[in-house]
A and B are shown apart, each in its own frame.
Chain A
Amino acid sequence: GESVGLHLPTLSVQEGDNSIINCAYSNSASDYFIWYKQESGKGPQFIIDIRSNMDKRQGQRVTVLLNKTVKHLSLQIAATQPGDSAVYFCAERGYGQNFVFGPGTRLSVLP
């Protein structure tokens, strides 16, 4: 069945360094892959998405890479800041309008 998972449950980086958060997926038929950020006590917030026919997309300080050969998705955050500390979820749009979310990676930014 469909599944989206993450390789690392926690990630600690120094402020100013780049962060890379990884995600594995299993449904080759998904059309879109999406990253969400969830700060403590809040609901998830959309960061960036990528369509299945693309391999890279850039936003403000973030880049998403899609490798369909190995079914791997990553989120790169440049010059990580304290405000980037949160749980990051990858998700895929499965059948119809359903989203499938991974378990999340907690990013901690060290001063």
Chain B
Amino acid sequence: NAGVTQTPKFQVLKTGQSMTLQCAQDMNHNSMYWYRQDPGMGLRLIYYSASEGTTDKGEVPNGYNVSRLNKREFSLRLESAAPSQTSVYFCASTGESKNIQYFGAGTRLSVL
């Protein structure tokens, strides 16, 4: 099993461009999450999806949208990228044990 797969691994955008970060898990997990990680800070929750068909805002949702396409896939979209969105983005999922989050390898995004 691959676990949680994120694409792309790296991306450079110009201010105002849009893009979608993809995330897929093959563990049949119900809950999925998107975090951003900035230097010297812990992970901050952007959006989460408790189950297929539902999404909710986290701590820092402004400037982002999400789609829970099906049980496996949870995408994060930046409609108009800003330099403040330069960060490392992590997708995660949880199954029966809510405390064990499985993380992808991350997407390193730079907005110029």
Q: CB within 8 Å of B: which residues of A?
A: 4, 9, 32, 34, 36, 41-46, 49, 89, 91, 93, 96-104
B42 at the interface (CB under 8 A from A): yes
Measured in the bound complex, the distance between the Cα atoms of B97 and A49 in whole Å is 11
B74 proximal to A (CB < 8 A): no
The reply to whether the CB of B53 lies closer than 8 angstroms to some CB of chain A is no
Q: Which 6 A-B pairs have the closest CB atoms?
A: A43-B103, A101-B42, A49-B99, A101-B43, A46-B100, A103-B42
Q: List 16 A-B contacts (CB under 8 A).
A: A36-B101, A41-B105, A43-B4, A43-B104, A44-B90, A46-B99, A46-B100, A89-B42, A96-B50, A96-B56, A97-B31, A98-B45, A99-B33, A99-B45, A101-B42, A103-B41
Please determine whether A93 and B43 come into contact, CB atoms closer than 8 angstroms.
Answer: no
- Seen from chain B, the residues whose Cβ lies within 8 Å of a Cβ on chain A are 4, 31, 33, 35, 40-45, 48, 50, 56, 58-59, 90, 92, 94, 98-106
Query: Contacts of B101 on A, CB cut-off 8 Å?
Result: 36, 44, 46, 99
* Contact across chains for B98 and A97 when beta carbons are under 8 A apart: yes
- With A97-B98, A102-B42 as contacts: A45 and B103 at CB distance below 8 Å: yes
Total of A-B residue pairs, C-beta within 8 Å: 58
Does more than half of chain B's interface fall in helix, strand or loop, or is it mixed? strand
Is there contact, CB below 8 Å, between A43 and B92? yes
- Least Cβ–Cβ distance between B35 and chain A, in angstroms: 8
B41, closest chain A residue (CB): A103
When the two chains form their complex, are residues B92 and A98 in contact, meaning their CB atoms are under 8 A apart? Answer: no
Question: Which B residue sits closest to A6, measured CB to CB?
Answer: B42
In the complex, A36 Cα to B94 Cα: how many Å? 14
- Whether A93 contacts B98 by the Cβ 8 Å rule is yes
> How distant is B62 from chain A, measured CB to nearest CB, in Å?
17
